[in-house]
Amino acid sequence: MDLQLAGKTVIVTGGSKGIGASTVRSFAAEGAKVAIAGRSPLEGESLAKEVKGIFIEAELGEASACHKVYEQTLGEFGRIDILVNNAGYNDGKDLNASPEDFMNSVHLNLSHVYTLVHLCRGELAKTQGAIINVSSKVAVTGQGGTSGYAAAKGAMNALTREWAIALAPENIRVNCVLPAECITPQYQNWFDSLKNPESTRKAVESLVPLGRRMTTPEELADMIVFLASPRSSHTTGQIIFVDGGYTHLDRAASANHTKWV
């Protein structure tokens, strides 16, 4: 299927690693021009060279960095068709954190999302483009130890619906993709920090109803790219779970109960 993305310009935040890097490659495979925004220059520059895009080093929690991303993308490509708000970090700021640390966590995970949409709105209206927010199942299920991150991702879900309504008159579509147990470098680093990483990963995988495996970054990326493409031209305000049924299906139904018999 031709996704009709050839020549389109895409900004992918947090695009140097994990889901972001897979998203960059998936857009590039469809002929899109990609601006990679993030704070990992070694990986970002290498990826930009691979896909013939550009890398913009930016600490996105700073408004000036968001302006830099917007201006450099427009200067390089002359248009913006798609914005993928992927950057984010589960920093584990729980109820033991001070209110100031909590708000800082929310700021770091959310402020750039609003700022970039605010900046890109005019260009997206010209191209009748699309916004894809990358949230997390934590916003729906909770995790118990990450109040700031959960609040920011819950806000992203709400803003997806809010902006879908606000931007519909300009023919800008807004959708959201939620991963659950996706094997990103950040997740793998957590596994590697544990005493028994392999057994822990198997325990996590056993909770995923479809295939008893973790989702790959490529599977998330392909959904992001499809939703951003003209092939999804009448889809907006949707929150799509790419999680093998982890969030909504009854995981107890697929569990092995024989060990209790």
pTM: predicted TM-score of the whole model, two decimal places: 0.94
pLDDT digits (tens, 9 = 90+) for 70-128: 999 999 999 999 999 999 999 999 999 999 999 999 999 999 999 999 999 999 999 99
Distance CA 211, CA 205 (A): 9
Catalytic residue, chosen from 70, 149, 187, 246, is: 149
Alpha carbon 129 to its chain centroid, in Å, reads 17
Q: What is the largest CA-CA distance in the chain?
A: 66
- DSSP secondary-structure letter at 182? B
Distance CA 68, CA 247 (A): 36
Place of tokens 């790419």: 242
Q: Which domains does the chain have, with CATH numbers?
A: 9-182+216-250 (3.40.50.720)
| Mean pLDDT within 203-215 | 93
Distance CA 216, CA 33 (A): 23
Residue 214 has which token pair? 């973790």
Contacts (Cβ under 8 Å, ≥6 apart) of 97: 105, 147, 148
95 half-sphere exposure, CB direction, 13 A CA radius: 2
pLDDT of 152: 98
pLDDT of 255: 66
Residue 143 has which token pair? 């995790």
Q: What angle do CA 73, 79, 81 make, to 5 degrees?
A: 100
- Are 190 and 143 a contacting pair, CB within 8 Å? no
Distance CA 159, CA 126 (A): 21
pLDDT of 257: 53
* Residue 134: pLDDT band with limits 50, 70, 90: very high
* Residue 189: pLDDT band with limits 50, 70, 90: confident
pLDDT of 250: 85
| Mean pLDDT within 22-50 | 97
Place of tokens 């299927």: 1
Q: What angle do CA 236, 227, 130 make, to 5 degrees?
A: 65
Three-state secondary structure call for residue 206: coil
pLDDT of 192: 83
| Mean pLDDT within 193-216 | 91
The pLDDT > 90 percentage for the chain reads 87
pLDDT digits (tens, 9 = 90+) for 143-184: 999 999 999 999 999 999 999 999 999 999 999 999 999 887
| 149 in catalytic set | yes
The pLDDT mean for the chain works out to 94
- Are 222 and 23 a contacting pair, CB within 8 Å? no
Lowest mean pLDDT among 39-43, 57-61, 195-199, 238-242: 195-199
